[in-house]
Amino acid sequence: MKTNFSIILAALLLAVVAQAKLNIVATTPDLGAIAKEIGGDAITLTTLAKPTEDPHFVDAKPSFIVKLNRADVVIEGGAELEIGWLPALLDQSRNEKLAAGAPGHVNCAKGVPLMDVPATLDRSRGDIHAAGNPHYIIAPSNAKIVAQNIAAALAEVDAKNAETYRANLQKFTATLDAKITEWQQTLAPFKGASVVAYHDSWPYFARDFGLKIELYLEPKPGVPPTPSHLAEVIMKMKKEKAQVIIVDPYLNRRTAETVARDTGAVVLDVTQFPGGLKGTEGGYIQLEDYLVNALAKAFAGEK
């Protein structure tokens, strides 16, 4: 009888331990990848947006409500990145742990110096972001802040694994620091090079690596390219000797190809999300490796 009891107790404990893994929901795959680095085996991770998807236009699917309902922590990019879908999901999730301001609601933009904060809120300038450009995670310096925010939140919510999260943060930060040096060396010869983007989602990356990504195929954020605007871009590209056009998976590659034909530039597929392109599935560092190497190759004129 006594043995039976201890077996049951052990089984229960095991069940509790299995359950004890922190259930994390990340809105986008880049946040998910960093959360995985910090959480390691102590967490189970669900990512809502697909890596090939435009993070502003994710559907607020009811299946996401169930995922959020069961989550201990939700990790969002904030700065209005998910404003079109996450609030509706959280409203319906009935999960107090994820309430705004609760330790289980991690806004990774906290402490990130956001760029392009508009001085006036004027939508005639296109689809502007009131809080500043929300595509900040792709810059490694910001990834460090994101990792800190995540580690701090996980340590608070799951105090017994706090040491693990801190150690993982240190490990990730150290790897990232070493890599940042390497990446900066790789791109050093191309400092100041002009790169054309479809949408203004690369200013942080440009800043971190000393690139100039200031020409966009879109005339205004969210407004599709027009022939007159493209003609202007082509002229500027020739003037600035811009040789690379970067395009995210969810953007129109054909427009970029047209411009490339007229300028002799290279169209480079890029993504801000691990898994957005083949060879980026391995996580944040692999993604950044991919981007840096692909850009270096493109600058060097290899196709």
Partner 1 sequence: MSGTAQAKETNEVEQLKQQLRQMQEGFEKVQREQSAQINALTQKLEAFTRVQSAAGENQKLAAQLEAEMASSLSNAPAIPEKKPWSPADTLTVARAGSAYMNMSFDAMMVAGGSTMSDPSAQLQLGDHDPIKNGFSLRNAEIALDGAVDPYFKGFANIVLKLDKNNQTDIELEEAYAQSTSLPANLQVKAGQFFAAFGRSNAQHPHQWAFVDAPIIMTRAFGPDGLRNIGAQGSWLLPLPLFTELTLGVFDGQGSTMFGFRNPGDPDALGVDRFHGRQTLNIGLRGPQDLVWTPRIASSFDLTEQQTVVLGASAAFGPNDTGADTRTQIYGVDLYWKWKAADAHEGFPYVSWQTEALYEILEAGADPTASTPLPAETLRDWGCYSQVLWGFKPRWVAGLRGEYADGNTGTFDANDVFRGERERVSPVLTFYPSEFSKIRLQYNYDHGALFGNAHSIWLQLEFLLGAHGAHKF
Residues of the shown chain interacting with partner 1 in the complex, contacts defined by CB under 8 A:
50, 52-54, 56-57, 59-63, 65-66, 69, 80, 83-88, 91-94, 96, 99-100, 111-113, 119-121, 123, 126-127, 130-131, 141-142, 144-145, 148, 177, 180, 207, 222-224, 249-252
Residue nearer to partner 1 on the CB measure, 207 or 297: 207
Residue spans of beta strands (DSSP E) within 111-205: 194-197
Residue nearer to partner 1 on the CB measure, 255 or 263: 255
* Number of neighbours of residue 171 by Cβ within 10 angstroms: 13
Minimum distance between the CB of residue 184 and partner 1, rounded to whole angstroms? 11
**Which residues have CB under 8 Å from 171's CB, separation 6+?**
37
Minimum distance between the CB of residue 94 and partner 1, rounded to whole angstroms? 5
Residue nearer to partner 1 on the CB measure, 68 or 243: 68
The C-alpha atoms of residue 139 and residue 144 are separated, in whole angstroms, by 9
Minimum distance between the CB of residue 59 and partner 1, rounded to whole angstroms? 6
Residue nearer to partner 1 on the CB measure, 40 or 221: 221
Which helix (DSSP H) or strand (DSSP E) does residue 156 occupy?
helix 140-157
Residue nearer to partner 1 on the CB measure, 225 or 299: 225
Nearest to 82 by CA among 56, 49, 47, 59: 56
Residue nearer to partner 1 on the CB measure, 93 or 161: 93
- CA distances to 56, 77, 122, 282 from 47, rounded to whole Å, are 15, 12, 33, 15
| 234, 226 contact by CB (below 8 A) | no
Minimum distance between the CB of residue 117 and partner 1, rounded to whole angstroms? 10
Nearest to 251 by CA among 31, 55, 77, 30: 55
The DSSP call for residue 223 is B
Query: Counting Cβ atoms within 10 Å, is residue 239 exposed (0-12), middle (13-18) or buried (19+)?
Result: exposed
Burial pattern 241-252, b for ≥16 Cβ within 10 A else e, equals ebbbbbbbbbbe
Minimum distance between the CB of residue 265 and partner 1, rounded to whole angstroms? 21
Minimum distance between the CB of residue 100 and partner 1, rounded to whole angstroms? 7
Minimum distance between the CB of residue 254 and partner 1, rounded to whole angstroms? 12
Residue nearer to partner 1 on the CB measure, 59 or 238: 59
